[in-house]
Amino acid sequence: MAETKNANSYLNIRLAEVDLFQKLNGTSADEIEINGKSIPRYTNEFWTSKQRQNNPLHEISYRACFKAELPRFFINLFTKKSDTVYDPFAGRGTTIIESALLGRNIISNDINPLSRILSEPRLSVPSLTEVEDRLGKIKFSKHAKAEIDLSMFFHPETEAEIVSLKNYLIEKKERKKEDDIDSWIRMVGTSRLTGHSKNFFSVYTLPPNQAISPERQKKINKERNQKPEYKVVKEIILKKTKDLIKGLDSALIEILKKVKKNSLFLTDDAQNTNKIKTNSVQLAVTSPPFLDVVNYNDDNWLRCWFNNIDTKEVANRITISKKLPVWEQNIGQVFIELFRITKKCGWVAFEVGEVRKGKINLDEHIVPLGLQAGFSCEGIIINLQTFTKTANIWGIKNNQIGTNTNRIVLFRKY
């Protein structure tokens, strides 16, 4: 009886918190009919630019990632410490890292192995001295050269240092000697390969760290009348390390380490995550691949090369659906799996956006999928936002073109 009473109390508290969407100043509320069912919809700037005080630990470049304010909003609203938060499409790990910083247990999944490389090391944060000492022990050959032509991206001496670092990490992994410091260096090195500032290994290229094709880079070099200059790999890794850890104190580092002990990192298909226990997740916060907007394999070919990952194998595993019915079928299966692993009274915050110049609002397609899986749809949360510099680079100029909002469909398991 006591357990039932506590569960009902917890349920009532959480239901009361949903009303916050309506009570926040400036929130506009309406209803939208989807498949004959009225769904409440709340619109506001729930997390604003003034609130953008993300921990620097999040700042790992990755295409198509949301800001940490989004998962933080729902983590604070629907979970308590020791609850488990899950992301089936973890990407660079924004949901996972924010959950860990807030003392929640975490489960991360992404079929792309780069996700784990970029996220798990940030739960075991080394000191700057430890990273500097380890880098000092790595022998960099001046004659090392990649087996593929990378001259359009890197100065020959920089390429030699990158290849030397790559070979060191391959050897440590093959010998099963890669420790937390090595993993951190791998993560930082992977994130610094190409970019648009002096703090990347490459010559100027497109942000955010998306590796365009060699031929496209040659055109950029010609248009900008540029050629790769020498970059010191160890110095860039140390600088990025310093930037990442500047928002952490010893207490927060210990919280991250504690979370890691109970963490689970998977590289499974989100439709089949049998390593996750049934009824174990309090909250899932995620954003799936949006039809054919982003080609993750093309963006990450250079990162895969650095980490000795077979790009063809990754491409075969990653589903990029160009047709809406196929996309719906795949995501529908994900929702069935989400329903299995979500606790009773647990939540799913599923972020989608407007694609194909606003002609498709994926939130309206997501609602039926969640309902069919057994969830109740508690509403659609629309967070208004302004465009980033990256969005402008993609050709998005105003609120009529492209993705101009975060659109989160909120589900609950009863």
Can you give the CATH number for the domain in which 23 is found?
Answer: 3.40.50.150
pLDDT of residue 149: 97
Rounded Cα–Cα distance for residues 218 and 214 (Å): 6
Same domain membership, residue 276 and residue 188: no
Q: Are 96 and 188 within one domain?
A: no
> Is residue 82, in this structure, part of any structural domain at all?
yes
Among 111-125, 181-195, 360-374, 398-412, where is mean pLDDT lowest? 398-412
Q: What is the pLDDT of residues 174-201, one digit of tens each?
A: 999 999 999 999 999 999 999 988 999 9
Residue type, 2: A
Number of domains in the chain: 2
Structure token digits, residue 410: 């909120």
Which pLDDT does position 138 carry in this prediction? 96
Q: What is the mean pLDDT of the chain?
A: 86
C-alpha distances out from residue 298 to 92, 254, 314, Å: 16, 37, 11
Q: What is the pLDDT averaged over residues 11-22? A: 52
In this predicted structure, which of 78-82, 111-115, 211-215 has the lowest mean pLDDT?
211-215
Same domain, 281 and 207: no
Residue 410 burial (CB count, 10 A): 24
Q: Is pLDDT of 409 > 60? A: yes
Q: Is residue 119 part of a domain?
A: no
Reported confidence tier of residue 343, pLDDT bands at 50, 70, 90: very high
**What is the residue range of 136's domain?**
128-243
Tell me: do 154 and 226 sit in the same domain: yes
- CB atoms under 10 Å from CB of 197, counted, come to 8
Looking at the fold, whether 361 and 272 belong to one and the same domain comes out as: yes
Confidence band for 11, pLDDT divided at 50, 70 and 90: very low
370 in a structural domain? yes
* 103: Cβ contacts below 8 Å, ≥ 6 apart: 81, 82, 255, 259
The residue from 183, 210, 243 where one domain ends is: 243
| CA gap 290, 361 in Å, rounded | 11
Kindly report the backbone phi and psi dihedral angles of residue 186, in degrees, each rounded to the nearest multiple of 5, phi listed first: -60, -45
Give the Cα separation of 408 and 350 in Å (integer).
Answer: 5
pLDDT digits (tens, 9 = 90+) for 265-301: 999 999 999 999 999 999 999 999 876 655 666 778 9
The DSSP code for 55 is: -
Is 218 found in the same domain as 136?
Answer: yes
Same domain? For 9 and 134 the reply is: no
Domain membership flag for residue 402 = yes
Do the Cβ atoms of 194 and 153 come closer than 8 Å?
yes
Give, as one character, the DSSP assignment of residue 308.
Answer: T
With a CB cutoff of 8 Å and minimum separation 6, the contacts of 407 are 351, 352, 353, 354, 361, 362, 363, 380, 381, 382, 383
Measured at the alpha carbon of residue 402, what is the angle toward residues 400 and 403, in degrees to the nearest 5?
105
Q: Is residue 173 part of a domain?
A: yes
Beta strands in 171-280 (DSSP E): 264-266
* pLDDT (tens digit per residue) in 197-213: 899 999 999 875 567 89
- Contact partners, residue 310, CB within 8 Å, separation at least 6: 304
Q: What is the pLDDT of residue 358?
A: 62
Is residue 302 very low, low, confident or very high in pLDDT (cuts 50, 70, 90)? Answer: very high
Q: Which of 70-79, 149-158, 351-360 has the lowest mean pLDDT?
A: 351-360
Q: Are 192 and 200 in contact (CB under 8 A)?
A: yes
Residue 35 is assigned to a structural domain of this protein:
yes
pLDDT at 154: 97
Q: What is the pLDDT of residue 3?
A: 38
In a domain, 387, yes or no: yes
Q: What is the CA radius of gyration of the chain?
A: 22
Poorest-confidence range of 55-59, 66-70, 337-341, 342-346?
66-70
386 vs 16, 53, 383, 397, CA distance in Å? 30, 16, 10, 10
| Per-residue pLDDT tens over the stretch 348-388 | 999 986 665 567 788 889 999 999 999 999 999 988 765 44
Alpha-carbon distance 116 to 119, whole Å? 5
Whose CA is closest to 333, among 288, 363, 296, 293? Answer: 288
- The dihedral through the CA atoms of 122, 111, 152, 207 has a sign that is negative
Q: What is the pLDDT of residue 310?
A: 87
User: Residue 18: is its pLDDT beyond 90?
Assistant: no
Based on the domain organization, do 168 and 65 belong to the same domain? no
The answer as to whether 281 is a domain residue is: yes
405 & 340 share domain = yes
pLDDT for 161 beyond 50: yes
pLDDT band at 35 (very low <50, low <70, confident <90, very high): confident
For residue 6, what pLDDT band results from cuts at 50, 70 and 90? very low
Q: Are 369 and 304 in contact (CB under 8 A)?
A: no
Domain co-membership, 8 together with 71: yes
- Statement to judge: residues 389 and 281 lie in one domain: yes
Do 346 and 282 lie in a common domain?
Answer: yes
pLDDT, one tens digit per residue, over 221-263 is 999 999 999 999 999 999 999 999 999 999 999 999 999 999 9
